[in-house]
Amino acid sequence: MYLTNLAISLIGQYGYPMLFILMALESSSVPVPSEVVMTLAGALASKGILDFWVAYIVTLGGSTLGILIDYYIGFFIGRDILYKHMKIFRIKKGTFEDFDRWFERNAIAAIFFSRLLPVVRTWMSFPAGFVKMPMKKFLFYSISGSAIWDMVLMVFGFYAFGSNKAVVWLASIGILAIVLYILYKIALRNMKK
């Protein structure tokens, strides 16, 4: 709750630069809730405090920076560090090896669809860096997924919190839940075990 209140306060005070910083932090695995940042950006856009499209481009730029930070951490540190320190993370070597095989078969779908899922979205850049996924491919699928996620949350904030009508707010929550569920089902169907 503290991070949520802090994000709201910082965006209200510093506007676009803070949106960029918060989304860069969120996408680089710092626990900043994109759900709060993006819906707040949408709500502020609905009130005319922020321009919707400028806020969207700024947050997408911040997300891209954060994604690249985690990718390069994975790229330069590599999975050997994880293998070396598995006991700290309480993960068995077989689990890593199973994930590596799965990721190599499903890298594109994993990168794209993970950007549409809370929590998981911030961690998938590391394995892409570990396997040295080609940068153009990585960025294309990462930015595409992030663009959808950011837009859905901003539109949700714009209509749900920009309106004083409870019915609109509740309908927006229902629509968001349905969209996330459909994306989840598509992701499961497209990923090989």
The pLDDT tens digits for 42-71 are 988 988 889 999 999 999 999 999 999 999
pTM of the model: 0.79
pLDDT single digits (tens) 22-40 = 999 999 988 888 888 898 8
Binned at pLDDT 50, 70 and 90, residue 179 comes out as confident
pLDDT single digits (tens) 135-147 = 999 999 999 999 9
> Per the structure, how many domains does the chain have?
1
Quote helix, strand, coil % in the chain, to nearest 5.
80, 0, 20
pLDDT of amino acid 65: 97
Of the CA atoms within 13 Å of residue 33, those in its CB half-sphere come to 13
Residue 192 region, left (φ>0) first, then alpha (ψ -120 to 50), else beta? beta
Distance between CA atoms of 13 and 10, rounded to whole angstroms?
Answer: 5
Binned at pLDDT 50, 70 and 90, residue 170 comes out as low
Return all residues near 180 (Cβ < 8 A) that are at least 6 apart: 116
pLDDT of amino acid 52: 96
DSSP single-letter state for residue 124? T
- Expressed as residue numbers, the domain containing 184 is 2-190
Which amino acid is it at 41? Answer: A
Averaged pLDDT score across all residues of the chain: 84
Binned at pLDDT 50, 70 and 90, residue 80 comes out as confident
Give, to the nearest 10 degrees, the angle between helix 135-156 and helix 93-114.
60
**E-assigned strand segments in 26-172:** none
| Cβ proximity of 126 and 28 under 8 Å | no
Binned at pLDDT 50, 70 and 90, residue 125 comes out as very high
Binned at pLDDT 50, 70 and 90, residue 191 comes out as low
pLDDT of amino acid 187: 73
